[in-house]
Amino acid sequence: MLSYSFGRNYLDYSLFPPIITAEGAGGDEAPKDLLARKARLVLSSTDPNLLDQSFKGVYSSWAAVIAVLKVRFAQTVALGAAIGDNLGKWATIPATKILVHLVAEDLHKWIPNIIFYTCKVIAIVIAYKIQQIISAFYSAIRGGLLVTRNAMTWLSNKKIISIDPDATNIDEYCGWALAALGFYFQFTKGFSAPWFMQLLLWPLGVLEGSLLWAVNDAAPANATPQ
């Protein structure tokens, strides 16, 4: 119970039983014994088979997401490498004429490799950015339609409006408008959420970061440009 006295707020702790207390500090059970008792209570009241199935479901979902992302990442890298190869063939002659004057004579043998790998890196970065734009555009469309259709369904259930989303195109119009606004917002922000949204959605940020780490750390060997 929170009360006020003599200009100070204080909390009456006598109304709350001690949760974790040391010996002689308000309870007879030591923190170590309390923790062991709570752990035993959890283990005795939990179904191990159900818990095992839950962990398997989470792991299977995680593996499926990683597999899909690896395939898309490999496709993006392969596309960029292929474009880089063709760009390198086109840039070899003019770039060689410039590099022979900038690179020492005993290092001229490295000029073709420098040209081709530079073109591959540039093409892979461009392909990655294009894929990022495509993914953001698809997410905006998907999210806009989900918001408008669920909003119309909720309003219909509340008897505020009587519109069937399947019998009208209003949800598509509103969804596309919302998608355009969302995509423009993402594009102007560099596809990065504002700091206050990152603070509120930090669990999703941690999940996204772990997915990116898993995909980039264990990328398929054949996805590396040669």
Q: What is the tens place of the pLDDT at every residue in 14-60?
A: 544 454 444 444 456 788 888 888 888 888 888 888 888 888 888 78
- For the chain, first and last CA: distance in Å? 70
Q: How big is the chain, counted in residues?
A: 226
- Quote the tokens at residue 183: 């995509």
Helix or strand or coil: residue 3? strand
Residue 27: predicted pLDDT: 53
- Asked if 66 contacts 211 with a C-beta cutoff of 8 angstroms, the reply is yes
The predicted pLDDT at position 89 comes to 87
CA angle 52, 217, 81 (to 5 degrees): 135
Say yes or no to pLDDT of 12 above 60. Answer: no
pLDDT band at 164 (very low <50, low <70, confident <90, very high): confident
Are residue 109 and residue 172 in the same domain, yes or no?
A: yes
Q: Name the residue range of residue 29's domain.
A: 2-42
pLDDT band at 201 (very low <50, low <70, confident <90, very high): confident
53 part of a folded domain: no
Top pLDDT among 191 and 118 is at 118
Is residue 87 located within the same domain as residue 199? yes
Higher pLDDT among residues 48 and 110, named by residue? 110
**Average pLDDT of span 207-221:** 68
Number of domains in the chain: 2
Verify that 22 and 133 share a domain, yes or no. no
Q: In the numeric block, which tokens belong to residue 203? A: 């669990």
13 and 96 in a single domain? The answer is no
Cβ-based neighbour number of residue 156 at 10 Å: 14
Residues 148 and 104 in one domain: yes
Task: Decide: pTM greater than 0.85.
Answer: no
Q: Same domain, yes or no, for 111 and 183? A: yes
Average pLDDT on 130-153 reads 89
**Angle at 180 (CA atoms; ends 178, 182), nearest 5 degrees:** 65
Label residue 180 by pLDDT band (50, 70, 90). very high
